Amino acid sequence: MPAYGLLPADGSHQLDHRSRGTKDGLNQNPPERIQWVDAPALPIFYGTIPTASLQYNSVAEQAQKDFAVNDASAYCRDNSALPLLDDDLHFDAAGCIEFGEWVVSTFESVVGA
């Protein structure tokens, strides 16, 4: 059974954002905030960081893609072309809708809804 890292209810995006001290700050999260557990294969839906984002990192993007290739329960969307707000960090409304529709359709295909 695979091990999963559970993050607090505020989620990994917000945790990463608040704890980032460097561009490669994805590894800056305090390990004590992550609880590792053995769990059944729960589906995970996520996307890459758009290449236009100030937070884009090619190493992180490759790790995201590799994770989906190596875990049958992981579903990764290539978000490289999604439009961003002027902060060059967050999706604009159209990007949110496009990503959200992908999550819904992928979830429905996975669970058979």
Q: 104 and 59, same structural domain?
A: yes
Beta partners for residue 84, in sequence order? 91
pLDDT of the residue at 25: 45
* Number of Cα atoms under 13 Å in the Cβ half of residue 4: 13
Q: Minimum mean pLDDT among 9-13, 26-30, 32-36, 37-41: which range?
A: 9-13
Q: 57 and 2, same structural domain?
A: no
At 38, the pLDDT band (50, 70, 90 cuts) reads low
At 40, the pLDDT band (50, 70, 90 cuts) reads low
Higher pLDDT, 2 or 102: 102
Q: 68 and 31, same structural domain?
A: no
Domain ranges, residue 29: 1-40
At 89, the pLDDT band (50, 70, 90 cuts) reads confident
Q: 104 and 51, same structural domain?
A: yes
